[in-house]
């Protein structure tokens, strides 16, 4: 009986991996656009009240602070003398913004008024974090950490972690607990960790060939690093080790957020300021399997998307260049219908012992990725037509695969290896 049940399970499982998912996701909608502005970062205090800061493009050096009290239906706009690259509210009433040439603005009345604070000249910054109303960090684009302990009345150099983060102000600061934090510092895969609330920082590199735009930790152990040219790496031990970066796109990945443990989004593209692509491109990527695979949700925007935030499991916002603000109200919604994908791609036998046979229709080519259960990349190979893959050196187990075709289509599934 047990053998019959096991055989039946394998047959069903084998059939399922030959199916390609047609997924219906929550929808991102454009709720506001004014090309006078370029939005850099945002923070929402609740689903209705939030702030988006950025640059006033009319002169290229001025800044902007957008505030909504009704979930993005309307916005109050304050123009500032300097560009704002980051915004943080440690409490409901007290918040900080700034960035260009070291400018710092502070509010104590939930953003109704903002006051210039003592700052420095002329180091730009785009990363900030505040533990409370008085104590916080910013990281200059050159990798220097500056700290205040008196509510921005004064700032002092703390330490230098290296790296490099030029415009539009790459990098990120995140604290998972009051003690444990992590900073993404751009060039050469540089990042820094602290286990004592920022008293000391340990500097390391994810990969010297990766430019790290942002690190997003789902918890103290599991996280993602994303960067230039679609590169993404994962950690499952709090940043002690990272998977070899893989590329999910030729475009840059800039920021990410998870709405549930399984459903997350990445935003990015190419800025119209970029020397790589002066015409600009904005893209949204999505995952429904906790980051094992990513697909393009929307690539219709003509300039980069820079910031994303998940307010709760369903409501989120995206902002970026050319003044775009997007909103989603049903992010955790996912319905899955399946259609047989054998006409596009087949992989057999399943289970397999020594060799996998793959067949991709002749009119298409793509890249095949094989991951273990920890998300570690084991195989990365180009495929066109029929191809055999030797798996004798891969341990028995259940593995995930992803095929990214040159035409943009993506096939995902699982395969059993039994020796």
Q: What is the pLDDT of residues 211-243, one digit of tens each?
A: 899 999 999 999 999 999 999 999 999 999 999
Query: Would the pLDDT of 257 be above 60?
Result: yes
* 347 neighbors 401 (Cβ within 8 angstroms): yes
> CATH number of 2-18+344-417: 1.20.1430.10, 2.60.40.3080, 1.10.8.350, 3.40.50.300?
2.60.40.3080
Specify the CATH class of 28-335 in words. mainly beta
What is the distance, to the nearest Å, from the Cα of residue 330 to the centroid of all Cα atoms in its chain? 19
Q: Which two tokens stand for residue 334?
A: 């996912």
- Tally of CA atoms within 13 A in the half-sphere of 157 that contains its CB: 8
Task: Tell me the mean pLDDT in the region 305-316.
Answer: 94
Same fold, 2-18+344-417 and 28-335: no
Q: Before 168, cis peptide (omega within 30)?
A: yes
What are the C-alpha distances in Å from 208 to residues 83, 191, 238, 244, 404?
31, 11, 19, 11, 25
Among 338, 189, 334, 211, CA closest to 268 = 211
Phi, psi at 187, each rounded to 5°: -60, 145
Task: Tell me the mean pLDDT in the region 323-351.
Answer: 72
Among 277, 324, 274, CA closest to 298 = 324
pLDDT at 52: 97
Between residues 406 and 36, the one the model is more confident about: 36
Query: Would the pLDDT of 94 be above 70?
Result: yes
Q: Which two tokens stand for residue 349?
A: 């036998």
What is the distance, to the nearest Å, from the Cα of residue 403 to the centroid of all Cα atoms in its chain? 21
How far apart, in whole angstroms, are the C-alpha atoms of residue 113 and residue 172? 26
What is the distance, to the nearest Å, from the Cα of residue 344 to the centroid of all Cα atoms in its chain? 30
Between residues 167 and 331, the one the model is more confident about: 331
* 197 neighbors 211 (Cβ within 8 angstroms): no
Task: Tell me the mean pLDDT in the region 161-182.
Answer: 77
Give buried/exposed letters for 78-96 (b at 16+ CB in 10 A, else e). bebebbbbbbbbbeeebbb
* 323 neighbors 36 (Cβ within 8 angstroms): yes
Identify the band that residue 419 occupies on the pLDDT scale cut at 50, 70 and 90.
confident
Question: How many helices and strands (H and E) does the chain possess?
Answer: 1, 37
Phi, psi at 16, each rounded to 5°: -65, -35
Other beta carbons within 10 angstroms of residue 207's beta carbon come to 17
Q: Is 323 in a helix, a strand, or coil?
A: helix
Q: What residue segments make up the domains of the chain, in order of their start?
A: 2-18+344-417, 28-335
Q: In this predicted model, what pLDDT tens digit does every residue of 153-163 receive, in sequence order?
A: 999 888 887 76
How much is the mean pLDDT over the chain? 84
The β-bridge partners of 287 are: 264
pLDDT at 193: 94
Q: Which two tokens stand for residue 255?
A: 């920021």
Query: Would the pLDDT of 56 be above 60?
Result: yes
């Amino acid at each position: 009986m047990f053998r019959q049940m096991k055989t039946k399970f394998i047959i069903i499982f084998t059939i399922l991996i030959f199916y390609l998912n047609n997924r219906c996701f929550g929808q991102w909608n454009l709720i506001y656009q004014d090309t006078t502005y370029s939005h850099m970062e945002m923070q929402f205090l609740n689903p209705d009240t939030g702030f988006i800061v950025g640059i006033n493009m009319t002169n290229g050096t001025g800044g902007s602070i957008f505030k909504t009290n009704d979930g993005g239906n309307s916005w109050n706009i304050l123009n500032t003398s300097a560009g704002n690259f980051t915004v943080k509210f440690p409490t409901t009433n007290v918040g900080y913004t700034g960035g260009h040439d070291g400018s710092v603005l502070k509010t104590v009345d939930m953003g109704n008024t903002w006051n210039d604070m003592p700052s420095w000249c002329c180091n730009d910054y785009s990363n900030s974090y505040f533990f409370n109303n008085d104590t916080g960090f910013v990281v200059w684009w050159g990798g220097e950490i500056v700290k205040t302990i008196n509510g921005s009345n004064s700032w002092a150099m703390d330490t230098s972690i290296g790296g490099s983060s030029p415009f539009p102000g790459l990098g990120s600061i995140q604290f998972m607990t009051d003690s444990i934090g992590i900073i993404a510092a751009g060039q050469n895969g540089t990042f820094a960790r602290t286990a004592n609330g920022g008293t000391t920082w340990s500097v390391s590199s994810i990969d010297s060939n990766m430019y790290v735009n942002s690190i997003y930790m789902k918890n103290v152990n599991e996280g993602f690093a994303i960067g230039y040219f679609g590169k993404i790496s994962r950690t499952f031990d709090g940043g002690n080790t990272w998977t070899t970066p893989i590329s999910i796109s030729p475009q840059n990945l800039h920021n990410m957020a998870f709405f549930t443990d399984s459903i997350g989004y990445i935003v990015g593209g190419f800025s119209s300021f970029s020397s790589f692509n002066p015409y600009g491109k904005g893209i949204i990527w999505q995952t429904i399997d906790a980051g094992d695979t990513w697909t393009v949700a929307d690539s219709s925007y003509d300039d980069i998307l820079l910031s994303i935030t998940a307010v709760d499991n369903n409501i989120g916002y995206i902002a970026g260049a050319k003044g775009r603000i997007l909103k989603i109200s049903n992010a955790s919604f996912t319905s899955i219908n399946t259609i047989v994908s054998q006409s596009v791609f087949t992989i057999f036998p399943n289970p397999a012992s020594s060799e996998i046979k793959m067949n991709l229709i002749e009119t298409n080519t793509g890249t095949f990725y094989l991951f273990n259960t920890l998300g570690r990349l084991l195989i990365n190979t180009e495929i066109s037509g029929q191809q055999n893959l030797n798996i004798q050196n891969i341990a028995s187990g259940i593995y995930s695969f992803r095929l990214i075709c040159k035409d943009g289509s993506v096939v995902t599934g699982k395969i059993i290896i039994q020796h």
